[in-house]
Amino acid sequence: MGRAHIARTIGDTLLKVDNVSLGFGGVKALTDVSFDIAKGEIRAIIGPNGAGKSSMLNCINGFYQPSQGSISYKGVVRGAMRPYEAARGGIARTFQNIALFKGMSTLDNIMTGRLLKMKRGFLWQCLHWGPAQAEEIAHRETVERVIDFLEIQAIRKTPVGRLPYGLQKRVELGRALAAEPELLLLDEPMAGMNLEEKEDMCRFILDVNEQFGTTIALIEHDMGVVMDISDRVVVLEYGRKIADGTPDTVKADPKVIAAYLGTGHG
Partner 1 sequence: MLYREAGQFKTSYSADQGIFPILQDRIGMAILLAVAFVAVPLLASDYFLSTIFIPFLVFSVAAIGLNILTGYCGQLSLGTGGFMACGAYAAYKFATAFPELNIVVVFLLSGGVAAAVGVVFGVPSLRIKGFYLAVATLASQFFLIWLFTKVPWFVNYSPSGVISAPPREVFGWYVTGIEATAEAKYLFCLAFVAVLALVAKNLVRGRIGRAWMAIRDMDIAAEIIGIRPLQTKLLAFAVSSFYCGVAGALWAFIYTSSVEALAFDINRSFQILFMIIIGGLGSILGAFLGAAFIVLLPIFLSAVPQAMGVPVTTSTLAHLEFMIFGGLIVFFLIVEPHGLARLWQLAKEKLRLWPFPH
Partner 2 sequence: MDFMIDFLFGPLKEIWEFPIFFVEVVVGGILTGVMYSLVALGFVLIFKASGVFNFAQGAMVLCAALTFVGFHELGVPQWLSLILTLGVMVALAFAIERIVLRPLVNQAPIILFMATIGITFFIDGFFQMVWGEDVKRLDIGIPKEPLEIGGVLVNTFDIVAALVAGTLVGVLAFFFQSTRIGRALRAVADDHQAAQSVGIPLQTIWVIVWSVAGIVALVAGIMWGSKLGVQFSLALIALKALPVLILGGFTSIPGAIIGGLIIGVGEKVAEVFWAAKIGGGIEDWFAYILALFFLMFRPQGLFGERIIERV
- List interacting residues with partner 2 (CB under 8 A): 24, 54, 58, 63, 95-97, 99
* 63 lines the binding site for partner 1 (CB under 8 A): yes
Shortest distance (Å) from residue 95 CB to partner 2: 5
* 118 lines the binding site for partner 1 (CB under 8 A): yes
Residues 75-104 that bind partner 1 (CB under 8 A): 82-84, 86-88, 92-93, 95, 99-104
Start-end of H helices in 96-164: 106-112, 122-127, 131-150
Rounded to whole angstroms, how far apart are CA atoms 52 and 28?
Answer: 9
* 122 lines the binding site for partner 1 (CB under 8 A): yes
260 binds, among partner 1, partner 2, none (CB under 5 to 8 A by kind): none
Characterize 103-116 residue by residue with b for buried, 16 or more Cβ atoms within 10 angstroms of its Cβ, and e for exposed: eebbbbbbbebbeb
Characterize 220-248 residue by residue with b for buried, 16 or more Cβ atoms within 10 angstroms of its Cβ, and e for exposed: beeeebbbebbbbbbbbbbbbbbbbeebe
Rounded to whole angstroms, how far apart are CA atoms 152 and 160?
Answer: 12
24 binds, among partner 2, partner 1, none (CB under 5 to 8 A by kind): partner 2
Shortest distance (Å) from residue 99 CB to partner 2: 6
Rounded to whole angstroms, how far apart are CA atoms 185 and 86?
Answer: 12
Binding site for partner 1 (CB under 8 A): 61, 63, 82-84, 86-88, 92-93, 95, 99-104, 108, 111-113, 115-116, 118, 120, 122, 125-129, 132-133, 136-137, 140-141, 144, 175-176, 179
